[in-house]
Structure 1
């Protein structure tokens, strides 16, 4: 079976771990989008809203890492961190 964002799963891998990997990848993609939106937000209210969502998202990522300490970050440098020059 082919999963979006998770190529060739190991048949012996724990299904919960496989699901956590998929979810972590989706969270990373969303965090990159939110970071870009935060950089271009026009109003303080918009920045505060996006920052709040980003903070919640980071809590989810932390929970995944606490529950599955061996899980690797699929794309650690996806997107540009705030203040980084665009390539």
Structure 2
């Protein structure tokens, strides 16, 4: 299991990892922060990067914040961070 902190920027042109913000990874998300759509896109996008099903990704803290702690099952911490950097 891996845990990462992400800072999300909703309503972006497309979903992408755009760098770092301190210890957090910056994610541009192509979804508005309305009715949980940005959270759904965050889970979908992190699952795509990690190569795991969406059911293996959950937002632990920060559901109503731009700064979120995301937990990913089925991948190591090192492997997830490597995939986020590339």
TM over 0.5: no
Structure showing greater radius of gyration is 1
More helix by share: 1
Q: Name which structure has the greater RCO, CA cutoff 8 Å, separation 6+.
A: 1
